[in-house]
Amino acid sequence: MKPKPMTLAIAAAAALVVRRAMRRRIQGSPLWPMPALEPPVSGRPRSRALKLLVTAHERIADGVVRVRLEGHDLPRWEPGAHLDLVLPSGLVRPYSLCGDPEDTSSYTVATRLVEDGRGGSREVHEQVQEGVELEVRGPRNRFPLVEAPSYVFVAGGIGITPVLPMLRALPEGTEWRLLYGGRTRASMPFLEEIEKLDPDREGSERGRVTVVAEDEDGLPDLDAFLAGVPEGAAVYCCGPQGLMTAVEERLPEGTALHLERFAPRTTAGGDGEFEVELRRSGRTLTVAADSSVLAAVRAELPNTPYSCEQGWCGTCQQKVLEGEIDHRDELLTDSERGDSMLICVSRARGERLVLDM
């Protein structure tokens, strides 16, 4: 169908008139005719893929390399945060940041070569070199430093990486203790710097820093170290699974324990069974160990929105009123994580969650 010439002419004339009228108005007031949203929400992506240049790749202990990634105007981070590196093969691996949080021009991570690992650390050691560009995502903080009257840190080997910026960030005069264990002194990164942080280390038994190298001192005596944990202290532990379980067992009930796993537990459904209360609809459901909150909720409320079911589209985000959340998504920002979750992948840390739905 061909438009008639007359129609076209009228449309063009109308467009011209409208254009002239609008141009005058818009030039008079740049915001005409729309007000602006205060504060604007677009342009603040939740996560941003950044391509950073590797400017240093150096061995700082046996089997440990430190990688420095440079960029500009990088997002700030808080001690305990990690960065996801997209390795040349496409593997995505989280590494704790261990540089200076104030530095917005570079990120520093350190990683130990795991011989029988899943391949991520081998790639960082062997394929990543100076001059290579790496894509990163984050930083995110799953291991934030909370406010507490005193702190106790237990780090095993490379587990020192998230702890180091915390020690640097603690205000002068804060009471803290650190147990730093490793196989040999030569395999323990940042040892010198850690020992320097201890003001009264000269032969003192009550020193803030206890360094235990297995080949010289045997296994660390966790019982003795954890015996005198002060009341209200925040306990941070990062290291091999065995160490974290041992610390968990020895702590008295009610102590705030913060754990950072080298690798997050399996991301797909699974782990323990727990209860979910849907406060607004007045229902309580049980989420089975091999199921997800979303599946349980959909059985009751079939119109619950969701889409990707893998924790990145954000459609199934719901407000959480009570209960501690085990976040397993890749999307939410640290502040959103305070009171909401993606119900398709995230679970409860405890036995119960209360959702606002």
Q: Which is nearer to other proteins, 135 or 277 (CB)?
A: 135
> Would you count residue 38 as binding other proteins (CB under 8 A)?
yes
Of 57-65, 88-96, 250-258, 286-294, which part binds other proteins (CB under 8 A)? 88-96
Ramachandran class of 72: left when φ > 0, alpha when ψ lies in -120 to 50, beta otherwise: beta
Q: Using CB under 8 A, which of the segments 22-30, 60-68, 94-102, 106-114 binds other proteins?
A: 22-30
User: What whole-number distance in Å separates Cα of residue 285 and Cα of residue 293?
Assistant: 9
| Residue closer to other proteins, measured from CB, 233 or 332 | 332
Minimum separation from the CB atom of position 272 to other proteins (A): 21
Report the nearest approach of other proteins to the CB of residue 134 (Å).
10
β-pair partners for 86:
92, 135
**Contact window for other proteins (CB under 8 A) among 40-48, 142-150, 198-206, 223-231:** 40-48
Could you say which of 104, 168, 197, 306 contacts other proteins (CB under 8 A)? 306
Check binding of 310 to other proteins (CB under 8 A): yes
Shortest CB 311 distance to other proteins, Å: 8
Taking the least distance from each CB to other proteins, the nearer of 92 and 299 is: 92
Residues of span 60-79 touching other proteins by CB under 8 A: 71, 73
Determine the Cα–Cα distance for residues 93 and 25; give it in Å rounded to an integer.
53
Specify the stretch interacting with other proteins by CB under 8 A; choose among 44-52, 108-116, 197-205, 215-223.
44-52
In DSSP terms, which residues pair with 68 in a beta bridge? 56, 108
β-bridge partners, 112? 64
Pairing relation of β-strands 81-86 and 64-70?
unpaired
Identity of the amino acid at 22: M
Chosen residue from 5, 6, 29, 34 binding other proteins by CB under 8 A:
34
Q: How far is the CB of 107 from other proteins (least distance, A)?
A: 14
Residue 191 CA to residue 104 CA, distance in Å, equals: 25
Among 46, 76, 196, 280, binds other proteins (CB under 8 A): 46
For other proteins, the binding residues in 98-157 under the rule CB under 8 A are: 135, 137
Q: Which residues contact 81 (CB under 8 A, 6 or more apart)?
A: 96, 97, 101, 138, 139, 140, 141, 143, 144, 162
Residue the block writes with tokens 């010439």:
5
* Six token digits for residue 118: 């899943």
**Nearest by Cα to 140 from 94, 92, 104, 195:** 94
Residue 305 interacts with other proteins (CB under 8 A)? Answer: yes
The residue among 201, 247, 253, 260 whose CA lies nearest residue 220 is 247
Nearer to other proteins by C-beta: 150 or 304? 304
Stretch that binds other proteins, among 41-49, 154-162, 203-211, 228-236 (CB under 8 A): 41-49
Q: Give the pair of three-digit tokens for residue 114.
A: 């795991």
Q: What is the dihedral of CA 263, 265, 267, 273, to 10 degrees?
A: -170
What is the torsional sign of CA 207, 213, 214, 217? negative
Ordered alpha helix ranges (H), 173-291:
191-196, 214-217, 222-227, 241-250
Residues 168-227 that bind other proteins (CB under 8 A): none
Please identify, among the stretches 56-64, 100-108, 155-163, 313-321, the one whose residues bind other proteins according to the rule CB under 8 A.
313-321
Residue 219, φ and ψ in degrees, nearest 5? -70, 150
Of 44, 131, 203, 205, which one interacts with other proteins (CB under 8 A)? Answer: 44
Sites of contact with other proteins (CB under 8 A): 1, 3, 19, 22, 26, 30-31, 34-51, 71, 73, 90-92, 135, 137, 267-268, 303, 305-308, 310, 312-315
